[in-house]
Structure 1
């Protein structure tokens, strides 16, 4: 959409991506919000491309295994993601077993805004920075952005971890993270 706007010479706002990620808009509504004119053929093309992209979404194999491991140990799981609205239903479909979902397009804010982390904690009925009532765990988060998934959560009392799939960081995959969480809860 942004590329199409640029092609048309539309002066896009610096926060165009922010608009796409924090407003619950269809593709047509987003075009209107950004001031991008779509011909019928361009609209059809963008809808086809979006549909193809959404339908191609697959979870990392380690995500399914990690969630299963956490669930088997009674640990709540949730997804907190900067996400445009067309992708939300597919993510929910793939990850039906989650205890909460905080998507930027629904929350109206993007990570690392503190309110999105508080939203997911509220949905999961957990309090960041505090042990659960049985004293066996804390609120932890992992993701592939140091700013959004490590530093941002830490600002509200969530233990944020950086997932570095390149192998250079401390945690390389989600199973490793889940095993760490399970081991911590066993103490």
Structure 2
């Protein structure tokens, strides 16, 4: 570990450590169905969905609806397909392992529905803390999710470096909370080693 004050490195997941090669977007389909049933569309609908620790039926029940069996079968099939499309970027595991070897605490902090968190946990087991939106019941850039990281790791905001691909959730939010943050652009081929060059 360098002389940097950084002791904890928190990573966003999708678009940062992993990608979905072919999307079926079952949760978007669920939200669309809810709107068709009469639920008034709200800008925070997706946030609400990712903040619920449960399955499709639990989410629908939260909004006051019951999913018909054919749609539930379709949603579950879409979800199973999409989970199989998740791939880690080539440098993900090697970089995380190098950081762990150097003494950094590794955190994954993601706005994700429950099945994605479970699946990612099997792909990336070398992590000290998973801060999933459905467990915290808050989505980035809500300060609650950054506070959860601080509380669980027992560190100070200034000791955390946040890495992600979304400016608001992964850079502006963490910085406003007192963390250091850096943006990665995987679409332009950026590697984790470029973003973390001074720490590796």
TM range (shorter): 0.7 to 0.9
Describe how 1:62-101 pairs up with structure 2 within 5 A. 62-101=91-130
Q: Give 1:150 deviation, angstroms.
A: 0.8
Superposed CA offset, 1:89-148 (max 9, x none) = 11111111101111111111111111211211332232111xxxxxxxx31011011111
**Whole-angstrom distance in 2 between the partners of 1:9 and 1:20:** 16
Task: Give secondary structure in 1 for the equivalent of 2:105.
Answer: coil
Q: Give matches, 1:113-128, under 5 Å.
A: 113-128=142-157
Matched, 1:149 2:149: no
Structure 1 residue 9, shift from structure 2 partner: 4.2
Q: Which runs of 5+ in 1 are unaligned?
A: 130-137, 183-187
Give unmatched runs, 5+ long, in structure 2. Answer: 1-29
Question: SS at 1:61's partner residue?
Answer: coil
- By relative contact order (CA 8 Å, sep 6+), the higher-ranking structure is 2
Alignment of 1:34-183 (within 5 A): 34-129=63-158, 138-167=159-188, 172-182=190-200
Deviation at 1:17, TM superposition (A): 1.1
The corresponding residue for 2:32 is 3
Task: Report the Cα distance in structure 1 between the residues aligned to 2:179 and 2:32, rounded to whole angstroms.
Answer: 36
State the 4+ residue runs in structure 1 displaced beyond 6 angstroms.
none
**Distance in 1 of aligned mates of 2:101 and 2:156:** 22
Q: CA RMSD in A?
A: 1.9
1:9-28, Cα deviation, whole Å (9 max, x unpaired):
42334032121011112111
Secondary structure (helix, strand or coil) at the match of 2:131 reads: strand
Once residues 12 and 56 of structure 1 are traced to their aligned partners in structure 2, the CA distance between those partners, rounded to angstroms, is 31
Contact 2:107 2:128 in 1 (8 A): yes
Distance in 1 separating the partners of 2:101 and 2:178: 25
TM-score when normalising by structure 1: 0.82
Any idea what the Cα deviations from partners look like across 1:121-178, whole Å, max 9, x if unmatched?
A: 332232111xxxxxxxx3101101111111111112210111112339xxx2212223
**Higher Cα Rg: structure 1 or 2?**
1
State the distance in 2 between where 1:19 and 1:5 align: 13
The answer (yes or no) to whether the contact 2:171–2:181 under 8 Å persists in 1 is yes
Report how far residue 35 of structure 1 moved: 4.0
